[in-house]
Amino acid sequence: MQTELSAAIDRVLRSGWFVLGPEVSAFEAEFASYCGAKHCVSLANGTDALELALRALDIGEGKAVLTVANAGMYSTVAILAAGAKPVYAEVRPDTLLVDTADVARILEHEKIDAIIVTHLYGLLGDIRQVIELARARGIPVIEDCAQAHGAVRDGRKAGSFGDIACFSFYPTKNLGALGDGGAIVTSRDDLAGKVRQLRQYGWSGKYHAELPGGRNSRLDEMQAAVLRVMLPRLDQWNARRREIAARYSRGIEHPKVTVPAIHGDDYVAHLYVIRTPERDRLKQHLAGAGIPCDIHYPVPDYAQEACRHLFEGVDRPVTAQACGEVLTLPCFPEMADDEVDFIIARVNSW
């Protein structure tokens, strides 16, 4: 792959065209087609993708957006940046994805203007059920696919279910660039057009700013060329990630550790996350064997220092408990089976 990456970067260097050129156009066409959507608009990063998707849907001051509080603050940051208010639905204890019963309850009682569904850890949640609830009320659905590139359900890819979907190409994501990058995909012409304008100062054409809320948020030619080399390998990487996750779930047997279920193509194993009430002790035990583990994510959004003053009295018990118990084991396509087995043995010996 290194030769191909070098050749791609060389091609951009020789072209002398670095922003919004042929590589970006080609990547957008290829990624839209991969996702089964009509349009892809590439952007500077995944958080911009969320914010510009909200803005394209006219979500701003006075609007409320339903999301979850256990997904690393990304949606909260974007909602607040757009000037709207996050409302948090509870998550399911088994998958840690949004609980549709709670979504239904909130939609009965509160005015919600948009819903963000995060395919956390790479698993497509109950997206169809959420969309059904939303459609019945005319509420648009945004998919946050930053951890779920290539996940498939009933022949449809992550990003093809909602009104608009957001992706990040941060280097550690399932499809990662050699720097920052992001995109939206959508089959709605109006939303694609608006995001296309918003990523470039709100311009309708050069130096004519038409839409408010615009900015500079562009993927550059170098990253687009790199992503074009990687995209054809995504399915194979995802399959390997899934294999590693299944190996963990079959191999880990410890009375104090809960492992995720083994999933099919609807899970691309961006993160392999186990749970235990004694999380910090297990983390230390693994660190003692040189196994680095991270926590995704330790603090509910509504309790974060930056914004907790906005959410006084908000408590989501399942979410809060999960934040105290989750632990992410290493899971990436380059890992060998014996490395996975070593970690399994270390967990089991705890």
Ligand X SMILES: *Cc1c(COP(=O)(O)O)cnc(C)c1O
Question: Applying CB under 6 A, which residues contact ligand X?
Answer: 45-47, 71-72, 74, 118, 144, 146-147, 168, 170, 180, 182
Q: Which of 99, 347 has the CB closer to ligand X?
A: 99
Residue 27 φ then ψ, to 5° = -60, -45
Quote the distance between the C-alpha of residue 230 and its chain's center: 18
Pick from 238, 236, 237, 245: which is nearest to 263 by CA? 245
Within 13 A of 5's CA, how many CA atoms are on the CB side? 11
DSSP string, 14-79: HHT--BSSHHHHHHHHHHHHHHT-SEEEEES-HHHHHHHHHHHTT--TT-EEEEESSSTTHHHHHH
The residue nearest ligand X at its CB is 46
For residue 74, whether the previous peptide bond is cis, meaning omega lies within 30 degrees of 0, is no
Rounded to the nearest whole angstrom, what is the least distance from the CB of residue 213 to ligand X in the complex?
Answer: 18
Q: Which of 144, 266 has the CB closer to ligand X?
A: 144
Known active-site residue 283: no
Q: Which of 150, 344 has the CB closer to ligand X?
A: 150
What SS3 state is found at 193?
A: helix
Q: Which of 47, 276 has the CB closer to ligand X?
A: 47
The structure tokens listed for 250 are: 């079959």
Rounded to the nearest whole angstrom, what is the least distance from the CB of residue 73 to ligand X in the complex?
Answer: 9
Rounded to the nearest whole angstrom, what is the least distance from the CB of residue 143 to ligand X in the complex?
Answer: 10
Which sign, positive or negative, has the C-alpha torsion 47, 50, 54, 60? Answer: negative
Indicate which residue of 173, 194, 256, 283 is catalytic. 173
Q: Which of 123, 274 has the CB closer to ligand X?
A: 123
Rounded to the nearest whole angstrom, what is the least distance from the CB of residue 13 to ligand X in the complex?
Answer: 25
Rounded to the nearest whole angstrom, what is the least distance from the CB of residue 278 to ligand X in the complex?
Answer: 26
The structure tokens listed for 117 are: 């569904």
Question: Which stretches within the chain are classed as H helix?
Answer: 2-15, 22-35, 46-56, 74-81, 100-109, 127-135, 189-198, 221-230, 234-251, 279-287, 317-325, 337-348
Q: Which residues are catalytic?
A: 173
